[in-house]
Amino acid sequence: MPDANPRTFGELEPSKWPGERLGLPDSGPSSVGRVGRRIAALFVDYAFAVLIALLWAPYSSPTHSLVTLAVFAVMQIVFIPTIGGSIGHRLLGMQLVPIAGGWVGLWRPVVRTVLLVIVVPALVWDSDQRGFHDKVAGTVLIRR
């Protein structure tokens, strides 16, 4: 029989659905944004960043990749606290919210974006489908 009051994260039962341990519904509004929707939003954001980066560097230049990454990061840091998510998140019906509730603030988007840009933390997920970048920032991407 599992301990009623687990002492470590490893003692927690896995979620039956993404977001269950966070008190979020299985589907519909306020449920965790699923993988397909998240990946599509990432592609939308990156496509916008590529196009905007063309204003500063030709596509074939070595600096274009760095400019694209910088534009992508700035877009995340600016749009998450102002419109509740990136352009891709909003177009695909999602919003980034802090687990504790309230406004996402300024530090969460910065921390989340730095970790997202180095890619690896975004590939490490828990049973609530929250990447390491969201866990560290104390955020969750939900459907609206």
List Cα–Cα distances, 44 to 128, 129, 136, in angstroms: 23, 20, 24
- Report the amino acid identity of residue 136: V
The Cα–Cα gap between 40 and 58 comes to 25
User: Which tokens go with 13?
Assistant: 């039962």
Q: Is the pLDDT of residue 6 over 80?
A: no
In this prediction, residue 99 carries a pLDDT of 92
On the question of pLDDT at 73 being above 80, the answer is yes
Distance from C-alpha of 125 to C-alpha of 56, rounded to nearest angstrom: 35
Q: Left, alpha or beta for 84 (phi > 0: left; psi -120 to 50: alpha)? A: left
Single pTM value for the model? 0.84
Is the alpha carbon torsion for 33, 38, 41, 45 positive or negative?
positive
- The answer on pLDDT for 8 being more than 70 is no
Q: Encoding tokens for residue 80?
A: 């998450």
pLDDT in tens, 103-117: 999 999 999 999 999
Residue 3 predicted with pLDDT over 60: no
- pLDDT interval class at 1 (50, 70, 90): very low
Domain ranges in the chain? 18-143
